[in-house]
C-alpha cells in the first residue's frame, strides 16, 4: 500500500516534532521535515508529495515569501499555519489532532489514512475451504457454565489497517467457555460497523455484539466498540454512553477505550494491539498507573502494517508478542493458570 506522503517545514522544532508525530498517527509517510532555512536545498530534490505542511512565523522575510508563494501556487496542496500543538499527554491534544486531520482530509481526498476499508472486509467474507484451527478448552473450565456470567477479565483488542484479518484469526482460535470478555476497537468507516461485526464473528465461537446502553459484558462477549460515540462503564460493569465523540482523529480512540476499560476493571484489564498504522494505544499504555497489566502485541513481522505494535513495543511495556494464533494460545494458558491460582482447589483438581 502506498502511504500518503507529506513534507513538513516549520521553524519551531517542537512544533515540527509534534506535526511529525501526528502524521505518523494519521498514517502518512513523512518524506521531509525541516527548518525553512533548508528550503532551497529541499526544492532541488524534486520530491513527490501529496501535501505540504508549512508552519513559519517569519512573515516579513521576502526570501521565505517567494518560495512559499511558489509552493502555494504549485501542484501540491499546501496547508499553511497551525495553532501551537498542546504538550504530549494534554487533554487538548486529541482535539488538536482531530482539527488537523479534518484539514488534511479536505486537501488530500481519497488517500488511505489509518482506517480499514470495506474491500478488506469483503475479502474476509469470501468462502473458505477449511474451518479455522481452534484451541481446546482447558478441562478446568469445561463444567463451569461460565457463558452469560459477568466477565472476570476484559481485554481490549486494538487495530487499524490490516487488523480485521488478524483479529479474526485470533478470535477464531479461541474456544467458547473462557472466563473473559473483549472490547474490540477497530479504526473503520462507521458505515461498515455492522459488517465488521458479522465478518469477524462468522467463524468464532464467541459472541460478537454492538454497543447497547445498560448491557453488561459477560464471558464470551466481544463488544465491537462504536465508531462515533464514546462509552464507559458504570455500576456492575454496565455499558454507558458519554454522549460525545471519541477524542482524537479516529473513532474509536484505542487510547481512550483502554483508559475507559481500565478505569472500571483495573487489574482485570488486558491489552492486545494488532496490525495498524500510527501509534493509537501507546499513549494510554504510558498513562496507565498500573504497570503489571498484560500488554501484548502482534509480532510486527506478521502485520500488514506494523507501526501500531512497533509504537507499543517502543514504550517498553509490552510483555508478549506473537502471531494471532500464538496470542490466542497464550491467552488460554494465562486464563487457565490464573484460574488455578485464584480459585478453590476443588474447582481445578482436573
Residue range 163-217, pLDDT digits in tens: 999 999 999 999 999 999 999 999 887 778 888 888 898 889 999 999 999 999 9
User: Domain check: are 174 and 315 in the same one?
Assistant: yes
Return the closest-CA partner of residue 158 out of 325, 298, 3, 302: 298
C-alpha cell at 12: 519551531
**Tell me: the pLDDT tens digits for 110-160?**
655 556 656 667 777 776 656 778 999 999 999 888 878 999 899 999 998
How many CB atoms are closer than 10 A to CB 62? 6
Q: What's the rounded Cα separation, in Å, for the pair 343 and 350?
A: 13
Which of 50, 55, 172, 187 is flagged as catalytic?
Answer: 187
Return the closest-CA partner of residue 211 out of 172, 174, 178, 238: 238
Domain for residue 214, yes or no? yes
Q: What share of the chain is helix, strand, coil (3-state, %, to 5)?
A: 40, 20, 40
User: Domain check: are 250 and 282 in the same one?
Assistant: yes
CA distances from 155 to 265, 299, 317 (A): 10, 18, 16
* 253 HSE (CA, 13 A, CB side): 23
Name the residue with higher pLDDT: 146 or 2.
Answer: 146
Name the residue with higher pLDDT: 96 or 109.
Answer: 96
Backbone angles phi, psi at 166, to 5 degrees: -65, -45
Domain for residue 113, yes or no? no
Q: What's the rounded Cα separation, in Å, for the pair 230 and 241?
A: 6
How many CB atoms are closer than 10 A to CB 300? 16
C-alpha cell at 310: 512497533
Instruction: List the alpha helices (DSSP H) in 231-323.
Output: 254-265, 282-287, 307-314
187 is catalytic: yes
3-state secondary structure of 49: coil
For residue 85, give the CATH number of its domain.
3.40.50.2300
User: Domain check: are 221 and 293 in the same one?
Assistant: yes
User: Domain check: are 103 and 145 in the same one?
Assistant: no
Q: Which of 75, 107, 139 is the last residue of a domain?
A: 107
User: Domain check: are 55 and 99 in the same one?
Assistant: yes
User: Domain check: are 76 and 139 in the same one?
Assistant: no
**Tell me: the pLDDT tens digits for 315-333?**
999 999 999 999 999 999 9
Return the closest-CA partner of residue 346 out of 146, 149, 140: 140
User: Domain check: are 331 and 263 in the same one?
Assistant: yes
Q: Which domain holds residue 168?
A: 118-124+131-347
User: Domain check: are 252 and 335 in the same one?
Assistant: yes
Domain for residue 40, yes or no? yes
Query: Please, which pLDDT band fits residue 95 given cuts at 50, 70 and 90?
Result: confident
For residue 256, give the CATH number of its domain.
3.40.50.180
Mean residue pLDDT of the chain comes to 87
User: Domain check: are 136 and 77 in the same one?
Assistant: no
Q: Which residue has the cell 452469560?
A: 148
User: Domain check: are 167 and 59 in the same one?
Assistant: no
Domain for residue 85, yes or no? yes
160 is catalytic: yes
User: Domain check: are 316 and 204 in the same one?
Assistant: yes
Query: Please, which pLDDT band fits residue 26 given cuts at 50, 70 and 90?
Result: confident
> In this structure, what DSSP letter does residue 92 have?
T
pLDDT of residue 267 exceeding 70, the answer is yes
CA quadruple 183, 188, 190, 192: dihedral sign? negative
Q: Which residue has the cell 490464573?
A: 338
CB of 35 closer than 8 Å to CB of 12: no
Q: How many domains does the chain fold into?
A: 2
Domain for residue 112, yes or no? no
Which of 280, 282, 311, 321 is flagged as catalytic?
Answer: 280
For 344, left (φ over 0), alpha (ψ -120 to 50), or beta?
beta
| Omega of the bond leading into 210 within 30 degrees of 0 (cis) | no
Q: Which neighbouring-strand residues pair with 116? A: 188
C-alpha cell at 64: 521565505
Instruction: List the alpha helices (DSSP H) in 114-186.
Output: 118-124, 163-173
Domain for residue 155, yes or no? yes
User: Domain check: are 71 and 201 in the same one?
Assistant: no
280 is catalytic: yes
Amino acid at each position: 500500500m502506498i502511504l500518503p506522503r507529506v513534507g513538513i517545514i516549520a521553524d519551531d522544532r517542537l512544533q515540527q516534532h509534534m506535526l511529525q508525530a501526528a502524521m505518523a498517527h494519521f498514517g502518512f509517510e513523512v518524506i521531509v521535515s525541516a527548518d525553512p532555512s533548508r528550503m532551497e536545498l529541499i526544492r532541488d530534490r524534486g520530491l513527490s508529495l501529496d501535501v505540504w505542511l508549512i508552519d513559519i512565523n517569519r512573515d516579513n522575510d521576502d526570501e521565505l515569501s517567494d518560495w512559499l508563494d511558489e509552493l502555494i501556487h504549485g501542484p501540491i496542496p499546501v496547508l499553511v499555519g497551525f495553532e501551537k500543538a498542546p504538550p504530549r499527554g494534554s487533554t487538548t491534544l486529541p482535539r488538536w489532532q482531530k482539527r488537523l486531520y479534518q484539514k488534511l482530509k479536505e486537501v488530500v481526498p481519497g488517500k488511505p489514512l489509518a482506517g480499514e476499508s470495506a474491500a478488506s472486509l469483503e475479502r474476509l467474507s469470501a468462502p473458505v475451504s477449511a474451518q479455522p484451527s481452534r484451541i481446546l478448552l482447558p478441562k478446568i473450565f469445561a463444567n463451569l457454565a461460565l457463558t452469560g456470567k459477568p466477565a472476570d477479565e476484559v481485554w481490549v483488542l486494538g487495530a487499524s489497517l490490516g487488523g480485521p484479518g488478524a483479529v479474526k484469526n485470533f478470535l477464531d482460535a479461541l474456544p467458547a467457555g473462557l472466563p473473559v470478555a473483549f472490547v474490540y476497537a477497530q479504526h473503520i468507516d462507521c458505515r461498515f460497523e455492522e459488517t465488521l461485526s458479522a465478518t469477524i464473528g462468522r467463524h468464532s465461537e464467541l459472541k460478537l455484539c454492538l454497543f447497547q446502553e445498560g448491557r453488561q459484558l459477560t464471558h464470551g462477549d466481544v463488544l465491537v466498540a462504536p465508531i462515533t460515540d464514546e462509552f464507559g462503564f458504570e455500576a456492575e460493569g454496565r455499558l454507558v454512553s458519554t454522549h460525545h465523540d471519541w477524542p482524537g482523529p479516529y473513532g474509536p480512540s484505542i487510547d481512550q477505550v483502554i483508559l475507559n476499560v481500565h478505569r472500571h476493571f483495573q487489574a482485570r484489564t488486558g491489552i492486545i494491539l494488532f496490525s495498524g498504522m500510527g501509534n493509537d494505544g501507546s499513549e494510554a499504555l504510558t498513562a496507565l498507573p498500573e504497570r503489571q497489566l498484560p500488554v501484548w502485541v502482534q509480532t510486527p513481522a506478521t502485520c500488514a502494517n506494523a507501526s501500531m505494535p512497533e509504537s507499543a513495543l517502543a514504550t517498553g511495556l509490552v510483555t508478549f508478542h506473537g502471531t494471532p494464533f500464538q496470542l490466542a494460545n497464550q491467552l488460554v494458558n494465562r486464563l487457565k493458570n490464573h484460574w488455578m491460582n485464584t480459585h478453590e482447589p476443588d474447582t481445578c483438581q482436573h
